[in-house]
Structure 1
């Protein structure tokens, strides 16, 4: 595996890992990076790498779960769902809890970046 592919896979794993974090940790991370009111940054990171990693065959056994996670994020998108992308929604909305469950499951089947 090329170094840039390994780096992309590592970054993707980190993005999926952040989707699995508890709401409080996600909120703290958003504050840390200077965008405390933009929960959509969590999804944007995932999206930045999802298709690229998949084109390399890098989803491994996690492919079905990652596809479900991607569908959930797509369904949550749009102006009508703006309420889902607030820091408060991270803790209160069932879609975010489902996202954490899917992300946790995906991490178990995602290939290690060291390979």
Structure 2
């Protein structure tokens, strides 16, 4: 497994915050738009786990983002909930949730989108 930007960066920059907020915005998109975003990966078939991987990279930096005044404490509980929802979907027994069809057909992804929208509303 490759390291995410949270593992490879000594001092997060506003660029990392921007990537994190973008990952939340992508999680908030409708399934069709998420699939269109995923198709940007060199013409390969969409890898749905990319949606969570980018968020996970940034979630590890949330304490630093708050410490630097880039994120409000108000967003922490919703971001933590979103992270927990994604974690609960992980594992081999949940592989069926990480295919393109699941984005539009599974209640779990509807919940992810709702939590991501709630998080975006709290970001300032």
Same fold per superposition (TM over 0.5): yes
Which of the residues 10, 16, 25 maps onto 1:8? Answer: 16
Which of the residues 78, 86, 107 maps onto 2:91? Answer: 78
Partners of 2:12 and 2:61 within 8 A in 1: no
Instruction: Give the length in aligned residue pairs.
Output: 109
Partners of 1:27 and 1:36 within 8 A in 2: no
Q: Structure 2 unaligned runs (5+)?
A: 1-10
C-alpha distance in 1, partners of 2:71/2:85?
17
C-alpha distance in 2, partners of 1:94/1:105?
17
TM-score by length of 2: 0.81
TM-score by length of 1: 0.87
Q: Structure 1 unaligned runs (5+)?
A: none
Higher helix share: 1
Pairwise CA RMSD:
1.6
1:42 aligns with 2:55: no
Offset at residue 56 of structure 1 (A): 3.3
Relative contact order higher in (CA < 8 Å, ≥ 6 apart): 1
